[in-house]
Structure 1
Amino acid sequence: MTTEAPTKPPTTDVPPVPAASARLRLRRIIKHLALIAAALVMLYPLLWMIASSFKPNALIFRDPSLIPTQLDLSNYPGGWVALAHPFSHYLLNSAIIVIGSVLGNLISCSMAAYAFARLNFRSKRLWFAIMLMSIMLPIHAVIVPQYVLFSNLGWINTFLPLIVPKLLATDAFFIFLMVQFFRGIPAELTEAAKIDGAGHFRIYWRIMLPLSLPALATATIFTFIWTWNDFFSQLIFLTDPEMYTVPVALRTFVDSTAESSWGSLFAMSVVSLLPIFLLFLFGQKYIVKGIATTGLK
């Protein structure tokens, strides 16, 4: 009778991790730590403003910590009614300008972009180059002639100077963004629509716009943020406190000749940031998609 030699169990030893892989992992950890530290540095002013909105005025600049040693919840209700009108009045004024600006940019810039992307007309490249050059033109170079024009029209201290130019496709950035998106849509779609008897407006309304929702969403978000935060133009054209918007109203909390209400200022600044934060939170995927894509894939 023969006996079989016992077989050795299979080895389950894990091969050692190469040194190069360990160095790569360490490099990634250091990179992420550096990014987190940089993010904290950039977020510190925002966090300090939020913390200062819960501090008494006397401790705001004495205590730079992010954890208030004394809580003062009166900054929010006090700041809401501290000015000539409740702060909701200024929020409503800003909302009116923002809605008008968003609608104006979406309509006018998309129509101008369709013309550059799909129509053939004389000196098309020249006008497109002039449109791109207007992006580099600072507002300070045109604010004086604009003020003279709007003053002669009797539009000063109204919302018209802030809304009507948006209906004339004055934001070249959004025209360029939509042109690139329209050019990415296959031309076969528009050619097939022309064969079926569709005109340019029907092609623009029924084909181009539905396929350009990411670009339209991106234009909406950027227009909202830029208009909501616009201080210079609103300060120039709005002189009556009845017409003040949120940025101009926040400025009135700071008085160079008297005591400034810093706690109320920071509290209302936090309130004014909430719409932008919520819009960016729910719309950031459209920003990435609208900029990164150029039509159908």
Structure 2
Amino acid sequence: MSAFNLTPSGPSAVILNGIPGLEAAHIWISVPFSIFYIISLLGNVMILFLVSKEQTLHKPMFLLLCMLAVTDIGMSTCVMPKALCIFWFSFKDITVDGCLTQMFFLNTITTMHSAILVTMAFDRYVAICDPLRYAAILTNARIAKLGLVGLIRAVLLVLPEPLLLRRLPFCTNRVIPHTYCEHMAVVKMSCGDTRVNRTYSLVITLVVIGLDLTLIGLSYGLIIRAVLRISSKKAHQKALNTCTAHICVMLVSYTPKLFSALTHRFAQDIAAHVHILLANLYLLVPPMLNPIIYGVKTKELRDKVGKYICRM
């Protein structure tokens, strides 16, 4: 990690300014952020607990839900402890090593999160289009292998970002107007030629999201075709209800991610504090809502939650 010392002289610390223009309101902003973070942790830990304790939930769908819960916890935990230190105690310093490490883990986890959503779409496709072979096609071992492939893909795609930043000199004034080390914010801190960094980041964002959304769209296209072949309206309703939770999670996850990524690069007229608030909410709101969505839409989870609540 000592190789991340990018300049031979000057301080090695980076200053995270929080939300520029709203410094006086940092304490008040921390209140909803803290609430969202706590709800996210409780909801996702509850899912992990239920699936680990209940033998009847040891199924591919719930294994995927556990993977989603782990990435949700990781996304918010990568940024919130440091953000709250900035809001509460004005602890704004972070080492260059720490900044690049935070950036790497955050981007790896979000890329992994997208891969899990693709796998969940495939799970729904098999469940609806080939239900008789579902147990043979999607075993727990196969889901675990798909999760490992998603993790390897995420690491290989994200690793060049900090490696490319290592070759650049940072300006003497190492100030990032953000609550965490977002990749483009770190790139803007460099005084060198950042065209390669900017191009790679944009290409990876578009390729990953574009490829993943294409695969998800293909899965749902096949699902819709299969559902339309069913004559019973009740069967239509039942088939589509199995996809409702996944569709909601996709909308909650991809919409703010695309908006945040594209506005940071192209929408220069958007106020900095608006963009940074949205960038933080993107890492807080989906992890908070995902366990709620699946808890409401999945009967087996509702029943298990009710079982444990009745025991208390």
TM over 0.5: no
The structure whose residues are more often helix, as a share, is 2
Q: TM-score, normalised by structure 2?
A: 0.31
The structure with the larger Rg is 1
